[in-house]
Amino acid sequence: MTLLVIGTLAYDSIETAHASQSDVLGGSATYFSVTASYFASVRGGAVVGDDFGDEATSVFTRHGIDIQGLERVKGKTFRWRGEYDGDMNEARTLDTQLNVFQTFSPKIPPSYLASEFVFLGNIDPPLQLHVRQQFPRARLVACDTMNYWIKGKLEELKRTLAAVDLLVINEGEARMLSGSDNLKRAAREIRRLGPNIIVIKRGEYGACLFKDSTIFFAPGYPLEQVRDPTGAGDTFAGGFMGQLARSGDLSEAGLRRALVYGSVMASFAVEEFGLSRLLRLQSREIEERFQEFKTMTHFDV
Amino acid sequence: MTLLVIGTLAYDSIETAHASQSDVLGGSATYFSVTASYFASVRGGAVVGDDFGDEATSVFTRHGIDIQGLERVKGKTFRWRGEYDGDMNEARTLDTQLNVFQTFSPKIPPSYLASEFVFLGNIDPPLQLHVRQQFPRARLVACDTMNYWIKGKLEELKRTLAAVDLLVINEGEARMLSGSDNLKRAAREIRRLGPNIIVIKRGEYGACLFKDSTIFFAPGYPLEQVRDPTGAGDTFAGGFMGQLARSGDLSEAGLRRALVYGSVMASFAVEEFGLSRLLRLQSREIEERFQEFKTMTHFDV
């Protein structure tokens, strides 16, 4: 089935304790779409400036990602600069230049309108809602958000949440949004705002899924070395939504498998700098790591 | 099978954001033995002062715990006073009075010497080693430790670790002991010190088991309210070792089930203040929560 993502394309400059790179291709829609392309037919909507090169564009076309919804405007592409401390748990933003993204208003090409799965990446909540409303018959509409919108545009964010089926959110941001430090109560409060399914990302501790009265936990994959956590959350969402679009299975069992695929893909993302590892993945590697998650969590009763 | 624990008995004074209680029965051997008594035949060794009342003693006898190894000496019982912040993740020690524990040297009654499973609670490493050497034919000898000994008695601790089969340790202390922030590398470094099996406790994020080349993860049980985390780690160890002693099963599958029972028991411990919840548990409740862990972690491949 088809999967649409709306989000950012960016040039990132990243510093870790071990390395640094400037102006590498990044952004939520990039990590999401490249990841999801291993699972489903993906199309993306975003905006870039006239500095966005053919090399960057070819990343999408090589992965069979439909970029008819990619708008090119005069000016500079969105830029983010950040650094990670030794433990790689949290990015410190050093500089954000919205550039052409400042006036972004996603235009959905007619060919996108039949998308069955829609992911509203972490952008201004009214823009998310505007996109959402163009997909009244989608099978599942999910969104992401961040502390910036929770603090600055809470009422608008609530209107978006009231209109989506699923929210993917960091643990810290779930606490902030719900006003509760307790995971279970936080999920319950957020479900009251609208989304029926809540996926909470817990960094190296994995992720969990709240739906009806059930909870499902997947651990983080134990890597010996995390080289760059940039994009891990968007990669997680890309694996999760990609698997849902591939299987079309929205049952509890289908959602659980998708959550594990999200964790699988995020674990690849952080193994190397930027997109590197995601660009040369093989299906066999993905399925092997999925099996490893089964081995790491299975016990007989 | 029989399970021996050596550790502390204490009177704890605990403050949380919601409540405070003074001089409640606590200590590592208390939480461990009461918990393990739901699984196996338990005997304990510890020291108390002449202020240790019959009411406290009766907690053990009512749970069928053999306390022949409980030494009573002149003076005051070990006392600990601590408080927890809102998120209940870490205890801040306000006061420690070692009292009679200062000169503790565990004496093992002859009737204990056939114990098949031995748990060396968090006490001075040379005392742990001294006890360990009296059980050359035990099926499994496990130990716990803490930052205090890692900082202050590292060489002595290494001698203890070289002589045990299994270490149960907090994630933060595993990092400190191994010198590695990375979970997998930390476990590998610690295994080099001696113990073949490493159990790392991760608080609300659950626990994991490292053995040979395999890793197993169990999540923390999602509670809506954590009332008092005191003793959760010792309770975890009591459930883990108790299940091993009940089943006698040291296979990979048996160790995994034991890890889940550890998480089950720790989740009960923190539901109420001090020992309260653990004192009135029913086997049915334990098995139901064990099944819940299966439900929370199972997915089909």
Q: What is the pLDDT of residue B113?
A: 96
pLDDT digits (tens, 9 = 90+) for B223-264: 999 999 999 999 999 999 999 999 999 999 999 999 999 999
Question: pLDDT-based confidence at A34, cuts 50/70/90?
Answer: very high
Going by C-alpha positions, the residue among B103, B56, B65, B98 that lies closest to residue B79 is B98
Mean pLDDT in residue range A186-204: 97
- The CA distance from B195 to the nearest CA of chain A, in Å, is 20
Q: Is B50 helix (H, G, I), strand (E, B) or coil?
A: coil
Q: What is the pLDDT of residue A133?
A: 97
Name the residue facing A290 among B87, B259, B301 (closest C-beta): B301
Q: Is B54 helix (H, G, I), strand (E, B) or coil?
A: helix
**Which of A16, A299, A300 to substitute to test the interface with B, most B CBs within 10 Å?**
A299
User: How would you class A103 by CB atoms within 10 Å of its CB: exposed for 0-12, middle for 13-18, buried for 19 or more?
Assistant: exposed
Name the residue facing B299 among A87, A222, A257 (closest C-beta): A257
Contact B297 A217 (CB under 8 A): yes
Q: How many CB atoms lie within 10 A of CB B94?
A: 12
User: How far is residue B275 from each of residues A9, A207, B24, B31, B229, measured CA to CA in Å?
Assistant: 54, 31, 8, 7, 10
Going by C-alpha positions, the residue among A12, A54, A7, A11 that lies closest to residue A35 is A7
The answer to whether B75 and B119 have CB atoms below 8 angstroms apart is no
Residues of A in contact with B86 (CB under 8 A): 181
A89 touches chain B (CB under 8 A): no
Distance of CA B226 to the CA centre of its chain: 19
Question: pLDDT-based confidence at A88, cuts 50/70/90?
Answer: confident
Residues of B in contact with A205 (CB under 8 A): 202, 205
- The CA distance from B231 to the nearest CA of chain A, in Å, is 20
Closest chain B residue to A258 measured between Cα atoms?
Answer: B299
Measured distance CA(A296)–CA(B19) in Å, rounded: 38
Question: pLDDT-based confidence at A168, cuts 50/70/90?
Answer: very high
Q: What is the pLDDT of residue A91?
A: 83
Query: Residue B88: pLDDT above 80?
Result: no
Q: What is the pLDDT of residue B267?
A: 98
Residues of B in contact with A226 (CB under 8 A): 182
pLDDT digits (tens, 9 = 90+) for A279-301: 999 999 999 999 999 999 999 99
Q: Which is more confidently placed, B129 or A93? A: B129
Q: What is the pLDDT of residue B13?
A: 95
Question: pLDDT-based confidence at B19, cuts 50/70/90?
Answer: confident
Contact residues, B window 250-279, toward A, CB-based 8 Å cutoff: 253, 256-257, 259-260
Query: Residue A152: pLDDT above 80?
Result: yes
Q: What is the pLDDT of residue B237?
A: 98
Residues of B in contact with A256 (CB under 8 A): 298-300
Distance of CA A185 to the CA centre of its chain: 23
Pull the structure tokens for residue B201: 């406790």
Query: Residue B91: pLDDT above 90?
Result: no
Measured distance CA(A32)–CA(B221) in Å, rounded: 30
- The CA distance from A116 to the nearest CA of chain B, in Å, is 24
pLDDT digits (tens, 9 = 90+) for B43-53: 999 999 999 98
Name the residue facing A299 among B86, B223, B260 (closest C-beta): B260
Contact B208 A223 (CB under 8 A): no
- The CA distance from B205 to the nearest CA of chain A, in Å, is 7
Query: Residue A144: pLDDT above 90?
Result: yes
Q: How many CB atoms lie within 10 A of CB A267?
A: 24
pLDDT digits (tens, 9 = 90+) for B134-193: 999 999 999 999 999 999 999 999 999 999 999 999 999 999 999 999 999 999 999 999
Name the residue facing A291 among B214, B225, B301 (closest C-beta): B301
Query: Residue B86: pLDDT above 80?
Result: no
Q: Which of A111-125, A163-177, B15-29 has the lowest mean pLDDT?
A: B15-29
Mean pLDDT in residue range A211-230: 95
Q: What is the pLDDT of residue A82?
A: 93
Mean pLDDT computed over every residue of chain A: 95
Pull the structure tokens for residue B138: 């035990």
Contact A301 B290 (CB under 8 A): yes
Q: What is the pLDDT of residue A86?
A: 72
Distance of CA B225 to the CA centre of its chain: 22
Mean pLDDT computed over every residue of chain B: 95
Question: pLDDT-based confidence at B285, cuts 50/70/90?
Answer: very high
ipTM score = 0.93
Q: What is the pLDDT of residue A261?
A: 98
* Concatenated DSSP letters of A213-258: TEEEEEPPP--S-----TTHHHHHHHHHHHHHHHH---SHHHHHHH
Question: pLDDT-based confidence at A253, cuts 50/70/90?
Answer: very high
Going by C-alpha positions, the residue among B78, B71, B23 that lies closest to residue B46 is B71
Q: What is the pLDDT of residue B265?
A: 98
Q: What is the pLDDT of residue B43?
A: 98
Contact A301 B291 (CB under 8 A): yes
Contact residues, A window 206-245, toward B, CB-based 8 Å cutoff: 206, 208, 214-219, 222-226
Q: What is the pLDDT of residue B215?
A: 97
- The CA distance from B248 to the nearest CA of chain A, in Å, is 16
User: How far is residue B71 from each of residues B128, B140, B147, measured CA to CA in Å?
Assistant: 17, 25, 27
Residues of B in contact with A225 (CB under 8 A): 182
Amino acid identity, position B280: R
A247 touches chain B (CB under 8 A): no
Kind and range of the H or E run holding A2: strand A2-6
Measured distance CA(B242)–CA(B39) in Å, rounded: 5
Q: What is the pLDDT of residue A58?
A: 96
pLDDT more than 90, % of chain A: 92
Q: Dihedral sign for Cα A46, A50, A55, A61, please.
A: positive
The answer to whether B9 and B48 have CB atoms below 8 angstroms apart is yes
Q: What letter would DSSP give residue A146?
A: -
Q: What is the pLDDT of residue B85?
A: 82
Residues of A in contact with B215 (CB under 8 A): 222, 296
pTM above 0.90, yes or no: yes
Mean pLDDT in residue range A176-200: 97
Q: How far apart are the first and last CA of chain B?
A: 36
Question: pLDDT-based confidence at B89, cuts 50/70/90?
Answer: confident
Q: Which is more confidently placed, A86 or A52? A: A52
Mean pLDDT in residue range A76-89: 87
A94 touches chain B (CB under 8 A): no
pLDDT digits (tens, 9 = 90+) for B255-267: 999 999 999 999 9
Mean pLDDT in residue range A59-83: 96
Q: At a CB cut-off of 8 Å and minimum separation 6, what does B97 contact?
A: B76, B78, B79, B80
Contact A253 B300 (CB under 8 A): yes
